[in-house]
């Protein structure tokens, strides 16, 4: 998941606390105002969902997955906008 990779790269470059989970990686960016905290709290469960997809894929509720893909895809675009804004503020 590119969101997690991006979070981990920023955490590393900013020398922030290393996350114990993918979910925590997103929350750390919220705690440091790289992402708005309310957005980080909304996006964090999706990061945790990655483990479900990889390790427990036989237990996935396909209707729920489909709903997320249809309704929450805008969150990825918003994530990209927040990260672009952060990068411009640091390296603009």
Domain edges within the chain = 2-91
* Residue ranges with strand state E in 43-87: none
Q: 47: Cβ–Cβ under 8 A, 6 or more apart, which residues?
A: 1, 3, 4, 7, 21, 22, 23, 25, 26
Write out pLDDT tens, residues 63-84. Answer: 877 776 776 778 889 999 999 9
What pTM was estimated for this model as a whole?
0.80
15 or 66, which is more confident: 15
If phi > 0 it is left, if psi is from -120 to 50 it is alpha, else beta; for residue 15 that is left
């Amino acid at each position: 998941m590119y969101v997690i990779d991006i979070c981990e790269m920023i955490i590393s470059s900013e020398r922030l606390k290393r996350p114990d989970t993918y979910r925590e990686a997103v929350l750390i960016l919220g705690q440091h105002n790289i992402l708005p905290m309310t957005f980080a709290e909304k996006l964090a469960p999706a990061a945790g969902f990655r483990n479900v997809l990889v390790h427990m894929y036989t237990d996935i509720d396909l209707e729920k997955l489909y709903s997320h893909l249809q309704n929450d895809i805008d969150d990825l675009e918003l994530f990209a906008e927040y990260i672009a804004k952060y990068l411009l503020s640091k390296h603009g």
